[in-house]
């Protein structure tokens, strides 16, 4: 495990990490969103026409699938390239959706939404204080009784059992390859991933920082922000989460 300090700038790493090459790699490897969207609809008991905010929305994988089910969807992301792709994907499919380029931490209170979804490991982007503040931001954009689903793919109970430190993995999708070297920074409970991407003559190195929280800590932050009925799910249908599951989905309801 690494004892090298995580730089202070790590808190804003995601604002600069998602270049067009990184976004294209993720678009190619990301699984379809249909199962996630079905789970969201069931777990939050959403009716057709429900207002949903996808934050951050990336290239629109979940926005497209949600809009196709008749929900009124808005997406926000800090990457202009990703938002442009998301907007184009909805236009190509003839689906209405609203988009904005913004930092999810700076969303204005707007308690009209029936649901908020935060998918794709983005819940682990921030240190503890900023993550707790993000939970309050999400509560402020939900109507009383509205629901939330958080994709927490780097929870401690998922990543630490059998964790191999100083590990390198190589991925190839078409003409894009990515080698990711990961270390675990124990003092801050952070997985530091150095990603080397290439496509033809293009070469990029990006570093990602994912904070590792326990399931209990995630629940505490949500409840402190005004959420209730916090429940943990495996991402496999409606099966509850168990230690060692590779994915954690958390659902909750805003009190009031």
- Tell me, yes or no, whether 145 and 242 share the same domain: yes
Question: Exposed/middle/buried for 171, CB within 10 Å: 0-12, 13-18, 19+?
Answer: middle
Gyration radius of the chain over CA positions: 18
CATH number for the domain spanning 57: value is 3.40.50.150
Residue 8's pLDDT is: 57
| pLDDT the model gives residue 12 | 86
Give the pLDDT confidence score for residue 7 in this predicted structure. 62
Answer for the pair 149, 115: CB distance below 8 angstroms, yes or no: yes
Q: Are residues 244 and 131 in the same domain?
A: yes
Split into its structural domains, the chain has a count of 2
Q: Let me know whether 66 and 106 are in one domain.
A: yes
Task: Say which residues have a Cβ less than 8 Å from residue 126's Cβ, sequence separation at least 6.
Answer: 11, 105, 134, 211
Give how far the C-alpha of residue 206 lies from the chain's centroid of Cα atoms, to the nearest Å.
18
Distance CA 138, CA 54 (A): 10
| In a domain? residue 38 | yes
- Contact by Cβ (8 Å): 254, 226: yes
Same domain membership, residue 203 and residue 95: no
- Same domain flag for 73 and 120: yes
Question: Helix 215-224 crosses helix 128-140 at what angle (to 10 degrees)?
Answer: 50
The reported pLDDT for the residue numbered 163 is: 83
Whether residue 131 sits in one domain with residue 36: yes
3-state SS string over 174-219?
A: CCEEEEEEEEEEHHHCEEEEEEEEEECCEEEEEEEEEECCCHHHHH
pLDDT at residue 162 in the model: 83
pLDDT at 2: 55
Domain holding 166, by residue range, is 158-210
The answer on 75 and 49 residing in a single domain is: yes
With a cut of 70, list the residues of the chain below it in pLDDT: 1-10
Between CA 14 and CA 20, with CA 57 as vertex, the angle to 5 degrees is 55
């Amino acid at each position: 495990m690494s004892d090298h300090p995580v730089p202070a700038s790590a808190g804003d790493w995601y604002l600069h990490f998602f270049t067009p090459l990184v976004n294209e790699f993720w678009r190619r490897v990301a699984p379809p969103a249909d199962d996630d969207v079905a789970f969201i609809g069931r777990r939050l008991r959403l009716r057709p026409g429900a207002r949903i905010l996808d934050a951050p929305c990336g290239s629109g994988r979940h926005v497209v699938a949600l809009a196709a089910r008749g929900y009124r969807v808005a997406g926000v992301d800090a990457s202009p390239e990703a938002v442009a792709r998301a907007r184009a994907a909805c236009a190509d499919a003839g689906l209405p959706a609203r988009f904005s380029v913004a930092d999810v931490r700076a969303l204005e209170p707007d308690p009209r939404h029936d649901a908020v979804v935060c998918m794709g490991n983005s819940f682990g982007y921030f240190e503890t204080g900023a993550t707790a503040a993000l939970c309050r931001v999400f509560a402020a954009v939900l109507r009383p009784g509205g629901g939330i689903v958080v994709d927490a793919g780097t929870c401690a109970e998922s990543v630490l059992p059998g964790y191999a430190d100083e590990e390198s993995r190589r991925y190839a999708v078409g003409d894009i390859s990515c080698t990711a070297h990961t270390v675990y920074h124990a003092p801050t409970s952070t997985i530091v991933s150095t990603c080397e991407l290439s496509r033809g003559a293009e070469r990029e190195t990006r570093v990602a920082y994912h904070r590792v929280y326990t399931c209990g800590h995630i629940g505490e932050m949500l409840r402190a922000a005004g959420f209730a009925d916090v429940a943990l799910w495996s991402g496999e249908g409606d099966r509850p989460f168990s230690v060692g599951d590779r994915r954690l989905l958390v659902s909750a309801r805003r009190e009031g």
